[in-house]
Amino acid sequence: MGKHSRAVDPAQLTDLLRLEPGHGVDLLSTSTGATPGISGGKSAARELQADLAPRLADLQERLYAVGRSGGRQRVLVVLQGMDTSGKGGVSRHVLGQVDPQGVTIAGFGAPTEEERAHDFLWRIEAKLPRPGQIGVFDRSHYEDIVAVRVHELLPPAVWEARYDRINEWEAGLVADGVLLVKVFLHISRETSKKRLLARLDDPTKFWKYNPGDVDDRAKWPAFQQAYQDVLERCGTDAAPWYLVPADHKWYRDFAVTSLLVELLEAQHLEWPGADFDVEAEKARLLAAE
Amino acid sequence: MGKHSRAVDPAQLTDLLRLEPGHGVDLLSTSTGATPGISGGKSAARELQADLAPRLADLQERLYAVGRSGGRQRVLVVLQGMDTSGKGGVSRHVLGQVDPQGVTIAGFGAPTEEERAHDFLWRIEAKLPRPGQIGVFDRSHYEDIVAVRVHELLPPAVWEARYDRINEWEAGLVADGVLLVKVFLHISRETSKKRLLARLDDPTKFWKYNPGDVDDRAKWPAFQQAYQDVLERCGTDAAPWYLVPADHKWYRDFAVTSLLVELLEAQHLEWPGADFDVEAEKARLLAAE
């Protein structure tokens, strides 16, 4: 597939995938197999992603340099989605395109006893990326609404109060220099079943399979409702949600790469200047042994 | 350069680069530009590394799977060497070949006031990789001998006692399932000067330059002596040092890749078996919506 198949400039992916804050979201009627911005299928997406990879690596290095030079900027990619929606795949195939020195990945499972004894944001705060880093959350504080609600772990009044708490907390992060990139990976119930079955057909993938995943699938509609409410109520101008149709892995990886490139380019990250006399340092170095 | 240029099987790099515990080391007479195991130059090394990359990625994933399934195994790559010796380059180009979910990189600069108030291993312990992870230390507890000694930060009796402390502590790590890969990146004083000058010639690299690096270069012989003593006194059968000639970046990256592949292959990491009834799960999944 040649370059002419590119129907849309990748710099438009943020516009195509952003859920407009304040608008309703209807997950049931939102396609999981669509490929907004790509008309040429897998080969076109792979080709575009290959073009984007060095741009993303350059942007990540600039961010890292800024962080090393006293800047506060950092990125937090929040990945949410049903089991098998590809949160790990994004970590591997999108973040794997940049220098691992600039990436920190944190996963959030069921909270431990110690974590439950604290406010729900305590363990989240502890994993926030340092300046200059791209942090990735594989699941996040949103589980403290979604999973808690679906599994009825706490009274509704508790998780109901968390929408506003999260919005306020995220606004504080953004004010402190965090570029928040919240991504919902949207897959169909059929795709989920296929991917779980594939794990059962391959002994090198048994370790990824958890019988509890099937129990969660039984509650698919309740999870979709819970995610929908989170997408509606926690999408803000400062920290909007991006909905990525994720039935096609090649689209998912292209789309998240493209989102990151566009959002980082909009930060206008400049290489830090020298805080020393360059010519004097050259002379000193040349005079040394 | 074709496959016939491979003079040595990469599986022999550990033998070629390991400093034999109990033997003396003479850094001054050890080549920084040699390329043990490679006779075909850069193109041969790149070709071999391209063959090794998927093997390393597979081994990393097995390690990760073992860790997720209750195993204690993990890897700790300790990178030491003078400024510009390529510690960051190894993190980027060697560890960048595997899934970033399985890699945690920690750098150790001058200790903070809080860190100095604790035992020198306190901050090191805090950054040890979890089971299933490959941890990378960009500088490490060895700075608590080398930098402390060269800069005369503490009385000799203090750092003198640390050789044995480190050996005992590392033996404990190995006994607890840590594969320790200690790598000394050996560069020449001339290479160091060239690389520092290159940073001063490129405004996108100013942020990597620190005037203090030139001051450290002035103490080159003292650093070499301090490293040599560490290589001699802290190389053990359980945790030997590998000396990688690092004037050629392409050799350095190939060599560390090859070390990791060989050492991980020797661990015979097996995919974890299912702790559930595979056929029953398939049936349950197929019966579900």
Instruction: State whether residue B197 sits within 8 Å of chain A by CB.
Output: yes
pLDDT value of residue A288: 87
Check pLDDT > 50 for residue B7: no
Q: Which of A62, A66, A101, A282 to mutate to test the interface with B (most CBs of B within 10 A)?
A: A101
Identity at B80, one-letter amino acid code: Q
Instruction: State whether residue A212 sits within 8 Å of chain B by CB.
Output: no
What is the average pLDDT across B88-95? 97
The Cα of B200 is separated from the nearest Cα of chain A by a number of Å equal to 6
The model's pLDDT over A238-267, given as tens digits with 9 standing for 90+, comes to: 999 999 999 999 999 999 999 999 999 999
- Match 């990256």 to its residue by tokens: B253
Instruction: State whether residue A28 sits within 8 Å of chain B by CB.
Output: no
Structure tokens at B260: 């990791």
Sheet of strand B74-81: strand arrangement: B103-107, B134-138, B74-81, B178-186, B241-245
The model's pLDDT over A78-124, given as tens digits with 9 standing for 90+, comes to: 999 999 999 999 999 999 999 999 999 999 999 999 999 999 999 99
Question: DSSP letters of A150-188?
Answer: HTT-S-HHHHHTHHHHHHHHHHHHHHTTEEEEEEEEE--
Check pLDDT > 60 for residue B3: no
Q: Closest Cα partner for A234 from A155, A150, A145, A123?
A: A145
Average pLDDT over chain B, rounded to an integer = 95
Q: Residue B41 belongs to what H/E stretch? A: helix B41-68
Check pLDDT > 60 for residue A219: yes
B239-262 in b/e form (b: 16+ CB < 10 A) is bbbbbbbbbbbbbbbbbbbbbbbb
pLDDT value of residue B288: 86
pLDDT value of residue B9: 58
Residues of chain A above pLDDT 90, percent: 92
pLDDT value of residue B289: 83
Q: Chain B contacts of A200, Cβ < 8 Å?
A: 278, 281-282, 285
Sign of CA dihedral A38, A42, A44, A47: positive
Residue bearing the bigger pLDDT, B158 or B9: B158
Per-residue pLDDT band at B10 (split at 50, 70, 90): low
Query: Do residue A285 and residue B204 have CB atoms under 8 angstroms apart?
Result: no
User: Do A281 and B200 form a contact (C-beta atoms < 8 A)?
Assistant: yes
**Closest-CA residue in chain B for A106?**
B101
The residues facing B74 across adjacent strands are B178
Q: Chain A contacts of B196, Cβ < 8 Å?
A: 285
Work out the angle at residue B19's Cα, subtended by the Cα atoms of residues B13 and B24, and round it to the nearest 5 degrees: 155
CATH number at residue B33: 3.40.50.300
Q: Closest Cα partner for B186 from B259, B86, B260, B282?
A: B86
Distance, in Å, from the CA atom of A176 to the CA atom of A73, rounded to the nearest integer, reads 8
Q: Which of B63, B99, B189 to mutate to test the interface with A (most CBs of A within 10 A)?
A: B99
Instruction: State whether residue B169 sits within 8 Å of chain A by CB.
Output: no
Distance, in Å, from the CA atom of B62 to the CA atom of B51, rounded to the nearest integer, reads 18
Instruction: Specify the number of domains making up chain B.
Output: 1
Coil/strand/helix, residue A240: coil
Q: Chain A contacts of B220, Cβ < 8 Å?
A: 289
**Closest-CA residue in chain A for B99?**
A92
The model's pLDDT over B156-187, given as tens digits with 9 standing for 90+, comes to: 999 999 999 999 999 999 999 999 999 999 99
Check pLDDT > 50 for residue A213: yes
The residues facing A76 across adjacent strands are A135, A180
Among the partner residues A96, A209, A276, nearest to B211 by beta-carbon distance: A276
What is the average pLDDT across B47-52? 95
What is the average pLDDT across A183-197? 97
Check pLDDT > 70 for residue A6: no
Sign of CA dihedral A147, A149, A150, A151: positive
The secondary structure of chain B in percent helix, strand, coil, rounded to multiples of 5, reads 55, 10, 35
Work out the angle at residue A18's Cα, subtended by the Cα atoms of residues A164 and A270, and round it to the nearest 5 degrees: 95
The Cα of A37 is separated from the nearest Cα of chain B by a number of Å equal to 27
Among the partner residues A96, A218, A282, nearest to B197 by beta-carbon distance: A282
Query: Do residue B289 and residue A211 have CB atoms under 8 angstroms apart?
Result: no
The Cα of A234 is separated from the nearest Cα of chain B by a number of Å equal to 27
Q: Residue B104 belongs to what H/E stretch? A: strand B103-107
Per-residue pLDDT band at B5 (split at 50, 70, 90): very low
- Match 């897998």 to its residue by tokens: A42
Structure tokens at B240: 């030997």
The model's pLDDT over B230-262, given as tens digits with 9 standing for 90+, comes to: 999 999 999 999 999 999 999 999 999 999 999
Identity at A46, one-letter amino acid code: R
Task: State the residue range of the domain holding B237.
Answer: 3-287
Structure tokens at A198: 């594939």
Check pLDDT > 70 for residue A11: no
Q: Closest Cα partner for B280 from A135, A214, A164, A186?
A: A214
User: Do B146 and B171 form a contact (C-beta atoms < 8 A)?
Assistant: no
The model's pLDDT over A27-36, given as tens digits with 9 standing for 90+, comes to: 999 999 999 9
What is the average pLDDT across A150-162? 97
Q: Which of residues 87-106 of A touch B (CB under 8 A)?
A: 88, 91-92, 95-96, 99-101, 103-105
Q: Which of A82, A281, A284 to mutate to test the interface with B (most CBs of B within 10 A)?
A: A281
Check pLDDT > 90 for residue B2: no
The secondary structure of chain A in percent helix, strand, coil, rounded to multiples of 5, reads 55, 10, 35
Q: Chain B contacts of A271, Cβ < 8 Å?
A: 203-204, 206-207
Distance, in Å, from the CA atom of A92 to the CA atom of B117, rounded to the nearest integer, reads 38
Query: Do residue A105 and residue B101 have CB atoms under 8 angstroms apart?
Result: yes
User: Do B248 and B33 form a contact (C-beta atoms < 8 A)?
Assistant: yes
The model's pLDDT over B207-221, given as tens digits with 9 standing for 90+, comes to: 999 998 888 899 999
Check pLDDT > 60 for residue A1: no
Cβ-based contacts under 8 A for chains A and B: 117
Residues of chain A above pLDDT 70, percent: 96
Coil/strand/helix, residue B183: strand
Structure tokens at B83: 């400024």
**Closest-CA residue in chain A for B136?**
A101
